[in-house]
Homo-oligomer: A and B are copies of this chain.
Amino acid sequence: VTELVDRLEAQILEASPALARLLSPLGRRAAFPPDIPFQAAQAQGTTFNGTIGQITDGAGRPVPLPSLARGLEGLEVSLRDRALLYSPVPGFPELRASWRRRQRRGVSDDRPSTTPLVTVGLTHGLALVADLFGGEDRPIAVPSPFWGNYRQTFELRTGARIVSAPAYVDGRYNCDAMAQALADEPPGRPAVAILNLPSNPGGYSLTRDERGRVIDSLVAVADQRPLLVVCDDAYAGLVYEEAIPSAPVFWDLVGRHPNLVPVKIDGATKEVSFFGGRVGFVTFPFEPGSEVEAALESKLKCLVRAGVGSPVAASQALLLAALENEDLDSEVEAIRLELGRRYRALRDALAGIDRELVSPLPFNSGCFALLELAARAGVTSEALRRHLLDHHDTGVVAIAPRFVRVALCSVAERSLPELVERLMTGVSELAAR
């Protein structure tokens, strides 16, 4: 195993010295061991295959319990069979290939990307990246406010250290937030930055001009230190303004600077509205079939197996069937159009509110809008949240100290003006106390 670990590290070093320096201690020692899944993969196709601990008919097909298989009746038999058996550790090969084609629509051939590895939803992809590249005292730059779970995934689990700078300054997106967050780190110290666009909780995507400025800012950081940019593309494609580019920033970062390695985390959760399926993907900016791809895949497979055994075959079968359906794109587009209507309803409702009490931060995409309660109103977001629950039959998410997140994705278009009205009534009531 030590030999295998050394070989993987040499392969990563060869392709990207920066990435090798970014590995955490756990990332360094992770390697897919040559045990049962490895041996079972080698034995695939043998007539007398007694390798793998799943119950089959002796010819590789499941022995499905009818009361379980019935729920999957809508899948063709071969996919239903696969839904019931273990998935390969890196995921179904056709699903990985299919998702890769989908990711690369409109992307030029000179931007390499690995065959995406399947994870148990996007959080699992983030956790795997945290395991590989987080660890004790590693700085993780995230513009603030950010999705709170980054703290658990990177900091609590691995001992990394989240560093932050405001995502908005003077009511506009702060393109230098990540560079500012890392400004105090000694030059040369490897760092991680999390780029989540469309953002949660902000619902924000970059304008063309801002996109250039964010990239320049990250490249300047990479002049100073190895930098892993985690592109959390959970909300990819959910963009509602014509002028806003919707292609993931990941592709603009591929090959931009030898010290800057982007990694793409995306998946079916929001892109295909399959929240309950837990299918995500991790993609690196390297050629499929390359040694560095295999080395990273060995490490990821080791951690997938150690943490969850294998990804969810049932959900992969359902997703694969959907991706093979030619209606899928128009179904996804219909969701985007519906969310676009909600976005406009919310934007319009917020246009008329009292800015002395509440400022909407700019939003144009994704699932959320972020509001900032005016300091002078003296209302915390947590007090407002409880007040809205208790007295106005309304739920919002409070982000300390004075941010409020509204999920437009879970409120009907017609209800959004009323939600805004109740929220403003609540703020007024509390401010008047």
Contact = CB atoms under 8 A, between A and B. Distances in A.
Contact of A57 (B48, B60, B302, B412): B412
Interface string A69-106: 11111110001001111110000000000000000000
Interface string A303-331: 10111111111110111011001011001
A191 interface: no
Interface string A117-157: 00011111001000100000000000000011101110011
Interface stretch (A8-16, A165-173, A388-396): A388-396
A273 B42 CA distance: 23
A149 to B, nearest CB: 6
Nearest to A331: B65
Copy number in this complex? 2
A396 B42 CA distance: 10
A273 B65 contact: yes
Interface in A263-319: 270, 272-278, 302-303, 305-315, 317-319
A253 to B, nearest CB: 25
Contacts of A29: 156
B322 A276 contact: no
Interface stretch (A179-187, A207-215, A222-230, A414-422): A414-422
B48 A332 contact: no
Interface residues of A, number: 121
Interface stretch (A30-38, A107-115, A244-252): A30-38
A43 B121 contact: no
A51 to B, nearest CB: 4
Contacts of A431: none
A312 to B, nearest CB: 5
Contacts of A318: 68, 71-72, 314
A362 interface: no
A361 interface: no
Contact of A412 (B59, B331, B395, B411): B59
A410 B56 contact: yes
B275 A50 contact: no
A200 interface: yes
Contacts of A122: 309
B312 A120 contact: yes
Nearest to A307: B127
A319 B395 contact: no
A391 to B, nearest CB: 11
Given A68-B273, A393-B46, A413-B58, A306 B153 contact: yes
A415 to B, nearest CB: 6
A353 interface: no
A52 B408 CA distance: 9
B62 A312 contact: no
Contacts of A70: 74, 321, 325
Contact of A389 (B42, B309, B422): B42
A374 interface: no
A394 B306 contact: no
A422 B313 contact: no
A305 B200 contact: no
A358 interface: no
5 contacts: A53-B410, A66-B327, A68-B273, A68-B322, A84-B274
Given A156-B302, A276-B314, 9 more contacts: A39-B398, A42-B389, A46-B394, A47-B394, A50-B397, A50-B419, A54-B410, A58-B410, A69-B74
Nearest 4 A/B pairs, CB to CB:
A58-B412, A43-B395, A276-B313, A73-B74
